[in-house]
Structure 1
Amino acid sequence: MDNAVAEAFNSTLKVEFVHRQHFRTRAEARIKVSTWIADFYNTTRRHSANDGLAPIPFEHRMAQARTASTAQVRAEVA
């Protein structure tokens, strides 16, 4: 099984966050890493797989494209 995605994520986590921090306890590390993932990586950080957009703007773009596509198909069928 290919785990390249997991390895890429772990590398990003270490380079962009963990190596820039000092954690006093494991509990503190867990909380700060979880917060970084939820508040930054999943919402704000630009992703090359999303044409360089952060996930939220990418999802908005995709929703608009779906809406436009659906409207075009309905117009063609009518």
Structure 2
Amino acid sequence: MQSRSRRGNCYGNAHAESFWSRLKTELLDGSFHDLSEARLEINHYSDYYNAERRRSVLSYLAPNHFETYFHLESQLYAA
């Protein structure tokens, strides 16, 4: 896949490539009965990937948990 930015810019495809790679290895094994089932499963996986899948860059927390932790920590230090 072609990058969408010039060299040195941060608008590359790394996030999209990571998502598609994980989708292919974790979900797509060719076991769908029809297109509607595939769409439903991919939608569920997308929701899981974006909100609940743990990320190493976030200290192995899910984005939802990391955001909650971040807000709690910032409130403690603001007080």
Same topology, TM > 0.5: yes
Give the alignment's TM-score, normalised by structure 2.
Answer: 0.74
Q: Which residue of structure 1 aligns with residue 8 of structure 2?
A: none
Q: CA deviation at 1:49?
A: 2.1
- What are the ranges of 5 or more consecutive residues in structure 2 without an aligned counterpart? 6-11
Does residue 38 of structure 2 align to residue 29 of structure 1?
yes
Q: Which structure is higher in helix share?
A: 1
Q: Which residue of structure 2 aligns with residue 15 of structure 1?
A: 25
* Partners of 2:18 and 2:45 in 1: CA distance: 16
Give the alignment's TM-score, normalised by structure 1.
Answer: 0.75
Q: CA deviation at 1:7?
A: 0.3
* Larger CA Rg, structure 1 vs 2: 1
Partner AA of 1:66 in structure 2: S
Q: CA deviation at 1:50?
A: 1.1
Q: CA deviation at 1:59?
A: 1.1
Query: What is the number of residues matched between the two proteins?
Result: 69
Superposed counterparts of 1:1-78, under 5 Å? 1=5, 2-19=12-29, 22-38=31-47, 40-71=48-79
- What are the ranges of 5 or more consecutive residues in structure 1 without an aligned counterpart? 72-78
* Partners of 1:32 and 1:59 in 2: CA distance: 26
User: Which ranges of 4 or more aligned residues in structure 1 deviate by more than 3 Å?
Assistant: none
